Each structure stands twice: as structure tokens, then as C-alpha cells.
């Protein structure tokens, strides 16, 4: 197999194998553009820097490292404000288990959501957008956005229940020093999977590596905990789709089955439709999930009372012409895009 997905994963490798980095020097530029499309340029540049072929991108590599340091500094300032106000929160999803730049930081407010919004406004952060479940602020100095969530969802539909993960918050070290509040590896990986399948309806290589690095931390001993939490959050359908793709990519590229991944799939199963589509496309990324996968994932969420109520609220609001006129163009744009 010779395509961008295969080649870039060969370059970066996997935490479950010894390094087998290979790189055709003629493909460096092509793969860099591909890494940006899949939201992991820093991880790619770090990998080629270790292969001594990075001269052309040395400045860009240093810039991205410095950029991440700026972002971490901004994160610390925002969280210090929330800590001072004694607002309970956790970061989730956007701070990856490997160093990578991001366009926004996700914060889940566990109490006092409205007070958190007021405090950030008062502290000079610019409110860009206010939605039913979240608000977006801009740090004008560092040029980074903060998505502040009351509940994790899309429009008014809640797909990840914060009340079920309140006891799963840990202190996570930052590369620039210090600690921040974050979801545990199990619950953060499940948030990534839910976001990928239900909200973005797309699988990108950045998530492939987030999944592998988190599974390495979870290990075989954490399989039962992962399966239990997936069931509690009503995410088994999403997990089967996402982890099935992760499994088949790793197997096809490295001919190795990561033990935690194989253990989860052996107990939970996988989505055969998505695996077939990924194979037929020869691992084309980003990969858009089939509408049937999304419908099945949402149907599973209907079993949960909080999610079911949020579906009802969404349907009621769809009766409002102004709400629908705003919602439909955004939904169509969401479906048509090639990446996110």
C-alpha cells in the first residue's frame, strides 16, 4: 500500500511497536500538507526531525513548539481565573496525550456555568458566540479560542453526560510545567470518540494517535474500566465504529494488534460497515462516518434520560422558524466539509 495515510503512519510509528520510521524524501511536502489536514502537524514535524530530513521545516517546527508554549500559558491564566472564583471545571478532549497545537481549548464547567461566562467576560475575554449548551471566548493576545461547555453536545442534543464523569477528574501535567484539571485517560478517550462520531462525524489521524497513546496508558488492566464507562455513557456504538477503524489501520500498517485495542474489540465487537469502507478507500483520511453509524449512535443515546430530554428540546426548538433557519445551513456545511 502506498498512500498518504500509510506513509505518514509509517513515519510517525506507534507507541505499541519499536520505531520503524520510513520516509521517501520526495514526499515530505505532500505529507506535511496531509498532516495539517488531519490536525497533527507538530507530531509529524517532530517525527521527521528525528530522521534528519527536517532542514526545510526546522523554523516551522520551532514555531509550532513555541506556539504550544504560548497556548499552555494562556490555558494557565484562564484556569487560574476559574480557580480563584472556585468554579468547578475540567479540561477535556483538546489537550492531547502528545504535544500538538490546537485551535481551541475545551472546558467543561461542572457547576456555576453562567458565573463562569460572566467571569471570563469581566476578565477581558471576548465572547464570540453563545449557543444552547456552550459559549466561545477568544484570548485576543494569544489568538486562541475557549469553548466553555455547560453540557457536551451538538446544538441542544447532549451526547456526553458530565454528571457521570465528575469522579473521573485528575491532575494532568503540562509540558511547560504545572498541572491542570483533566478527565482521566478512560473518560477523555471516550469524549474524543463521542466527539468524532456524533458531533464531527469524521475520523482524522490526530484522533488515531490520541486513541493509541491513551490506550497505552490505560493498558490491558484498564479494559474493564473502559468498557464499564462506555456502557454508562451510552457510547458503545460510537466506540465500536471508532476503535474498529483504529484497529484496522494499525493492523494494515504495522501488522501488529495492540493488546488493549484487541481486548476491547474482542469483548465489545466492531462496526463492520466502517471497517469495510476504510479498506475500500485504502485508508483515505479524513474518513467520514456513514449516516447509518451516526443514526445508530444517536439511537443508543436515546436510552439515557438526560439525552432523551435534550432530543425533545431540540425537536421543540426546530418548530421555531428562526432556530431552523440558523440550524439547517450550519448542518449542511457540517456534512459537506472535508475536515474540521
Residue 223, C-beta contacts closer than 8 angstroms, at least 6 positions apart: 260, 263, 264, 267
Per-residue pLDDT at 314: 82
3-state secondary structure the chain: CCCHHHHHHHHHCCCCCCCCCCCCHHHHHHHHHHHHHCCCHHHHHHHHHCCCCCHHHHHHHHHHHHHHHHHHHHHHHHHHHHHHCCCCEEECCCCCCCCCCCCEEEEEECCCHHHHHHHHHHCCCEEEEECCCEEEEEECCCCEEEEEECCEEECCEEEECHHHCHHHEEEEECCCCCEEEEECHHHHHHHHHHHHHHHHCEECHHHHHHHHHHHHHHCHHHHHHHHHHHHHCCCHHHHHHHHHHHHHHHHHHHCCCCHHHHHHHHHHCCCHHHHHHHHHCCCCCCEECCHHHHHHHHHHHCCCHHHHHHHHHHHHHHCCHHHHHHHHHHHHHHHHCCCC
Residue 302, C-beta contacts closer than 8 angstroms, at least 6 positions apart: 308, 311
Cα angle vertex 19, ends 16, 23, to 5°? 130
Which residue, 3, 7, 43, is CA-closest to 207? 43
Per-domain boundaries in the chain: 72-184, 186-336
Per-residue pLDDT at 233: 97
Burial of 136 (0-12, 13-18, 19+ CB in 10 A): middle
Assigned CATH topology for domain 72-184: Beta Polymerase; domain 2 (3.30.460)
What is the distance between the alpha carbons of residues 300 and 283, in angstroms, rounded to a whole number?
A: 27
Which residue, 243, 303, 295, 300, is CA-closest to 268? 243
CA atoms within 13 A on the CB side of 5: 25
What is the distance between the alpha carbons of residues 302 and 169, in angstroms, rounded to a whole number?
A: 26
Per-residue pLDDT at 259: 96
Task: Using a cut of 0.85, tell me whether the model's pTM lies above it.
Answer: yes
CA 266 → CA 96, 108, 181, 243, 269, distances in Å? Answer: 26, 32, 32, 11, 6
Per-residue pLDDT at 246: 98
What is the distance between the alpha carbons of residues 119 and 10, in angstroms, rounded to a whole number?
A: 46
Q: Kind of pairing, strands 287-288 and 202-203?
A: antiparallel
Per-residue pLDDT at 56: 77
Per-residue pLDDT at 312: 87
Cα angle vertex 78, ends 73, 84, to 5°? 125
pLDDT, one tens digit for every residue, the chain (340 residues): 668 999 999 999 999 998 666 666 657 888 999 999 999 999 999 988 876 665 778 889 999 999 999 999 999 999 999 999 999 999 999 899 999 999 899 999 999 999 999 999 999 999 999 999 999 999 999 999 999 999 999 989 999 999 999 999 999 988 788 899 999 999 999 999 999 999 999 999 999 999 999 999 999 999 999 999 999 999 999 999 999 999 999 999 999 999 999 999 999 999 999 999 999 999 999 999 999 999 999 999 999 999 999 988 888 877 776 665 565 555 555 555 666 6
Residue 144: strand pairing partners = 139
CA 79 → CA 88, 98, 134, 312, distances in Å? Answer: 10, 21, 17, 34
Per-residue pLDDT at 28: 84
Amino acid at each position: 500500500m502506498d498512500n498518504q495515510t500509510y506513509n505518514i503512519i509509517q513515519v510517525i510509528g506507534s507507541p505499541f511497536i519499536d520505531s520503524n520510521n520510513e520516509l521517501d524524501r520526495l514526499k515530505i511536502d505532500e505529507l506535511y500538507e496531509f498532516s495539517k489536514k488531519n490536525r497533527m502537524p507538530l507530531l509529524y514535524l517532530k517525527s521527521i526531525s528525528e530522521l534528519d530530513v527536517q532542514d526545510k521545516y526546522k523554523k516551522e517546527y520551532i514555531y509550532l513548539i513555541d506556539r504550544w508554549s504560548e497556548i499552555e500559558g494562556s490555558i494557565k491564566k484562564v484556569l487560574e481565573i476559574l480557580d480563584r472564583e472556585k468554579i468547578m471545571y475540567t479540561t477535556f478532549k483538546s489537550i492531547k496525550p502528545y504535544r500538538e497545537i490546537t485551535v481551541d481549548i475545551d472546558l467543561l464547567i461542572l457547576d456555576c456555568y453562567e458565573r463562569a461566562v460572566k467571569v471570563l467576560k469581566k476578565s477581558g475575554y471576548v465572547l464570540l458566540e453563545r449557543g444552547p449548551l456552550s459559549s466561545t471566548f477568544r484570548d485576543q493576545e494569544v489568538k486562541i479560542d475557549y469553548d466553555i461547555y455547560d453540557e457536551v453536545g451538538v446544538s441542544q442534543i447532549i451526547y456526553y453526560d458530565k454528571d457521570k464523569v465528575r469522579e473521573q477528574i485528575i491532575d494532568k501535567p503540562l509540558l511547560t510545567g504545572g498541572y491542570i484539571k483533566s478527565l482521566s485517560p478512560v473518560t477523555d478517550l471516550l469524549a474524543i470518540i463521542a466527539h468524532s462520531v456524533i458531533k464531527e462525524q469524521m475520523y482524522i489521524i490526530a484522533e488515531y494517535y490520541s486513541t493509541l497513546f491513551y490506550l497505552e496508558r490505560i493498558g490491558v488492566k484498564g479494559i474493564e474500566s473502559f468498557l464499564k464507562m462506555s456502557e454508562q455513557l451510552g457510547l458503545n456504538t460510537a466506540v465500536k465504529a471508532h476503535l474498529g477503524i483504529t484497529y484496522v489501520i494499525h493492523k494494515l500498517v504495522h501488522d501488529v494488534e495492540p493488546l488493549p485495542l484487541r481486548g476491547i474489540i474482542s469483548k465489545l465487537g466492531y462496526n463492520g460497515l466502517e471497517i469495510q469502507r476504510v479498506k475500500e478507500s485504502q485508508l483515505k483520511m479524513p474518513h467520514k462516518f456513514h449516516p447509518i453509524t451516526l443514526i445508530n449512535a444517536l439511537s443508543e443515546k436515546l436510552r439515557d434520560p438526560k439525552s432523551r430530554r435534550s432530543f425533545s428540546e431540540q425537536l421543540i426548538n426546530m418548530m421555531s422558524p428562526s432556530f431552523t433557519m440558523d440550524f439547517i445551513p450550519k448542518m449542511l456545511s457540517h456534512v459537506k466539509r472535508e475536515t474540521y
